Each structure stands twice: as structure tokens, then as C-alpha cells.
Amino acid sequence: MDQGGMVMSEHTEGQGKRKFMRYAFFKAGKEWRSMKKEEKSKGAREFLAVLAKYSQTLSVRHYSLVGTRGDVDFMLWIVADDLEPAQEFVSELLATGLGKHLDVPYSFLAMTRRSKYLGSHKHPGQEGGPEEPQKEYRYAFVYPLVKKREWYKVPFVERQRIMAEHFKIGHKYPAIKINTGYSFGLDDQEFVLAFEGDDPAEFLDLVEELRSSDASKYTERETPIFTCAAVDPQTMVRLLG
């Protein structure tokens, strides 16, 4: 599956400051589940207090992966104008009673940007920024993407044709919202893709159909893939056990 450039929700370069996006995946240690109830409750309250504090200045979405993967328990999707507030946020989280028992097995950093392949292509919802109302979806499907170097040697007009085919397939699944983050020089991957939807079956069908597109043969790596269930902060912590 190759979605590089397939964008429905990102700032354009001419529509305001580009934003940082961090997808931070956390795993609770076994010792957390065996702690006394009172100590766990105190640590959880500290953690939730930090989440509430930074919700005033950062855009943070909360997801549980308990039951969907064995190597992570929850994910925070953080959107910020600058890196420093996001750094301070995570630092304070890890200093709480719960945070001291958390590892971060995966973390992906990216920025928003309008895709060069869109051209004059427009459709409703494409330019959704944080100032616009955002639908809350039940699930997010997140993964890093790296393209083969051959892709960048293909003439731009041909790449645009290939991506137009890609867009056409995506339009067959309007219930799936697509967010593309760009990571060139910022992190190990080139893109971070975050799909949002209410029905995992629709995303499964979209991914299967994308396998047949010309763009797919230029994919170098697109794993790990995370299925994340949207939850409120209290539920996210409670599901840790």
C-alpha cells in the first residue's frame, strides 16, 4: 500500500504554518499491572492531569491498542506548531507515577504539507485544518512508509499519472479519511500515513485494492501497521489493567 501524496487533511503551504505531528506508542511494563491499587490510582491521576493540562495548548488524540497489538498498549497523536511544547508534554507524562512504568517502542515524527501531486485536484474535506470541525472516527490506522528510490527517478508527469490512479481508488472509499505526514530528514521513514474510519472492513478493502495500483510496486516498506481504537483518556488508562 502506497499513499505518498494522497492527502485529504493537511495544511497547504499558503494556508498557514505547517504543523508537526508525532505518533507516540506506549507500552506499560508488567510491574504496572502488579502494583497496589492505591499506588496505581495515584499514578493514573497524575498522568491524566498532565493530559488535561496540555489539552489546552496542544491537539492530542487518544487511542487504545489493547487487544489489537501485543507490543504497544496506547497511542497519542500529537499535533503542534513547534517541537518544544510536544517535548515538554511527553517529558511530563513520563515523569508521572504511570509514566515511570511506560516504554515507547515506536515513535514517528512528521509535518503537514500539501502534496505536489494534487495539482488543481479538489474535493470536499481535502483541506481540513484544525480550525475546521473535525469528525471523530472510531479507528485510526497508522503506519510509516518508505518508497523505493526508483520512484524519485520517474519523471514527474508519470508520477502524477500514477498518483491520479491512486486517488481514484481512494475516492471509492469516501468513509475513509486519509492524513499524510511528511518525514524527509526528520525521521527514519519518508511519510507517516494515518487513515481514519468507523469500519475496519472498509479500510481492509481499500488496502487490498490499492495493492493492484502501479504506485504499490514502488513501496519499499510500510510496516508496522497499527489499528488504534479512539477512546477518552480515562478509558485509555483503565484498559491498561
d(CA 212, CA 25) in angstroms, rounded, equals 30
From the list 211, 215, 209, 202, the residue with the least C-alpha distance to 174 is 202
Angle at the Cα of 193 from the Cα atoms of 190 and 199, rounded to 5 degrees: 165
For 119-175, the three-class secondary structure string (H helix, E strand, C coil) is CCCCCCCCECCCCCCCCCCCEEEEEEEEECCHHHHCCHHHHHHHHHHHHHHHHCCCC
23 is catalytic: no
Strands 20-28 and 74-80: antiparallel
Q: Which of 23, 63, 139, 143 is catalytic?
A: 143
Which residues are part of the catalytic machinery?
143
